[in-house]
Structure 1
Amino acid sequence: MVIDLRDEVASVLPILDGLARADWQTPTPAVGWNVHDQVSHLAHFDHLTRLSIQSPVEFASLRDGLTDLQAYIDGIGRGNQWRDGEATTAWWRSENRELRDAATVAEPSTRVPWFGPPMSLASKLTARIVETWAHGQDVADTFGVTREPTARLAHVARIGVLAFANSFRTRGLSVPDANIRVELSAPDGFSSWSWGPEDADESVVGDAKEFCLVVTQRCHIADTALVVRGQNAQRWMTIAQAFAGQPGVGRSPNKTVPKA
């Protein structure tokens, strides 16, 4: 897990290293977020994750002192504007390295506090991989850069499937009592990943990257070739959300179509 996190970060850094000063203020496909906001967010939450591992009491104190979590998240980019692009990249490199060091020496059975229920160390690292991939995709799309899909997408896809219920609950909707089969073509071109019963009445079938783009709300389902069968599966794919917190605004059809 630590190695996959390292490699996911490494897939984004070459894009950042080539940016001019003005590029950092370029709006990304995520409404209200520029490139600087995206990278500052990743650096800050790598820092908080390390804090939750190494100093859970200190993290809990910070968390419990917040009156508005969304306002706190929205303020990260603005609060770090004093760092230029080079300093922001260096900050993220440092925070991610320290997080990986902390995770490497931590007991594998460690459960860490977070803004919701406590999480296993493995789950928390998986969440960092997912977030790094998603925000990295925003940066890549901003500059028309194509990142080759890798086996690390299995982490993103798995979280996307596990977040089925959350996708409904976060919107105040009842969770459908449905069996849905997810079958995805892996990036290697010959293997596949699947979840759910083989005889399920409903299904989502297609390319792993496209599924990951949809569940992280980086692409609208209409802009993919995913084959969705069943009413509940259709509803899910229009609101799928592989991250916690308030309902995401998602993307409009054809607004941003990431390169395949």
Structure 2
Amino acid sequence: MTVLDGVIADLTAEGDQLRAAVAGLDADGWTTFTPAEGWTVATTIGHLLWTDEVAVLAAGALTDEGKQAWDAVVLQAIDDPTGFVDKGALELGALAPNDLLARWDAGRVALPEALRAHPDGAKMPWFGPPMSPTSMATARFMETWAHALDVYEALALAPEVTDRIRHVAHIGVRTRNYSFINNELPAPTDEFRIELTAPSGELWTWGAEDAPQSVRGSAYDFCQLVTQRIHRDNTDLVTVGTDAEKWLTIAQAFAGPAGGGRDPK
């Protein structure tokens, strides 16, 4: 199994888990608001569907026809840079539940096929830096997992916590400097040591053991924090160094404007 196949398998499992949670909802369930301001369960699934479909277009942008389709999406983003994502989520979230699920099912099949068909070594265009198919699959996992947490909270369901979240932790660590720059702050110059305890009990580490800045604690809390699904005060994460602590107050594993995060509980 390739690295890409492994990420796709985890993405599929995470999507299957979310689909099972929403498949039997009645009308009230679909219109339940999630912790994401203004978004319902239906809007959330609509957003995941929209992003999957756009990622498929990005994967096909190397052909002339594919580039035209991708360029059309880029023009929409340029015309409405702060609202085009919400617009797509709201439009698709307004579909009848059966139609929404059927289209999401189709997109979830099409995306792995498109990623596997992408030429080796070639990167896909995106709204930020170009991405490899593996990076795109990892990003789709992160977003699916994070938005699934919103749905589970809205429906009062307990999410299954697995070691699949290592993909989220990896993105969270990789985007440390981005979080500072996105908040108009200088990126740290010190090395960081990250030690996270996985749901299975395994220890995941990044950076030198003697780094002057460090973060230690639960991988689940860290993943919730970097996707802004939990407030810093509600995590078990322990830091050494002022830059490490500052990072945890602004951490952002996703592209776009700095998010407002969640209120403490």
Q: Do both share a fold (TM > 0.5)?
A: yes
1:91 Cα deviation (Å)? 1.6
Equivalent positions of 1:8-87 (< 5 A) are 8-56=14-62, 57=67, 58-65=69-76, 66-87=78-99
Q: Which residue of 1 aligns with 2:119?
A: 107
2:108 is aligned with 1:96? yes
The residue type equivalent to 1:185 in the other structure is: T
Counterpart of 1:140 (choices 152, 166, 172) is 152
Q: Distance in 1 between matches of 2:101 and 2:215?
A: 37
Shift of 1:46: 0.2
Are the structure 2 counterparts of residues 154 and 108 from structure 1 closer, same or farther at C-alpha, using a change threshold of 3 Å? farther
Matching residue of 1:165: 177
Which residue of structure 1 aligns with residue 4 of structure 2? none
| Cα distance in 2 for residues equivalent to 1:82 and 1:196 | 45
| Number of residue pairs matched by the alignment | 253
Higher alpha-carbon deviation: 175-184 or 57-66: 57-66
Contact 1:223 1:253 in 2 (8 A): yes
Aligned: 1:188 with 2:188: no
> Quick check: 2:175–2:252 contact (8 Å CA) kept in 1?
yes
2:166 matched to 1:154?
yes
Task: Say if 1:108 and 1:122, in contact at 8 Å, map to a contact too.
Answer: no
The answer as to 2:17 corresponding to 1:6 is: no
User: Aligned equivalents of 2:249 and 2:136: distance in 1?
Assistant: 26
Per the alignment, in what secondary structure is the counterpart of residue 263 of structure 2? coil
Match of 1:244 among 242, 255, 262: 255
Cα deviation for residue 62 of structure 1 reads 2.3
Deviations 1:202-228 (A, max 9, x none): 211111111000000000111111112
- Given that 2:46 and 2:90 are in contact with CA atoms closer than 8 Å, whether structure 1 keeps it comes out as no
Deviation at 1:105, TM superposition (A): 2.6
Distance 1:238 1:85 in 2: 37
Range moving further from structure 2, 209-218 or 69-78: 69-78
Percent identical across equivalent pairs? Answer: 38
Residue 9 of structure 1, CA deviation: 0.6
**Aligned with 1:241: secondary structure?**
coil
Q: Is the 8 A contact 1:203 1:230 kept in 2?
A: yes
**Residues 192, 208 of structure 2: 8 Å contact kept:** yes
Mapped to 2, the partners of 1:234 and 1:73 lie a distance apart of: 31
* Cα pair distance change 1:241/1:103, threshold 3 Å: same
Q: TM-score, normalised by structure 1?
A: 0.93
Q: 1: CA distance between counterparts of 2:104 and 2:72?
A: 23
1:50–1:98: 8 Å Cα contact kept in structure 2?
Answer: yes
Deviations 1:120-156 (A, max 9, x none): 1111111001000001111011112112222211100
Cα distance per residue 1:10-34 (max 9 Å; x no partner):
1211111121111111111112211
Match of residue 200 from structure 1: 211
**The residue matched to 1:194 in structure 2 has which SS?**
strand
The CA deviation at 1:81 is 4.3
1:82/1:224 CA distance change after superposition, 3 Å: closer
User: What's the secondary structure of 1:70's corresponding residue?
Assistant: coil
Instruction: Say whether the 8 Å CA contact 1:109–1:121 is kept in structure 2.
Output: no
Query: 1:159 touches 1:242 (CA, 8 Å); kept in 2?
Result: yes
Runs of 4+ displaced beyond 4 Å:
none
User: How does the TM-score come out when normalised to structure 2?
Assistant: 0.91
1:16-59: CA deviation from partner (whole Å, max 9, x where unpaired): 11211111111111122111111100000000001111234121
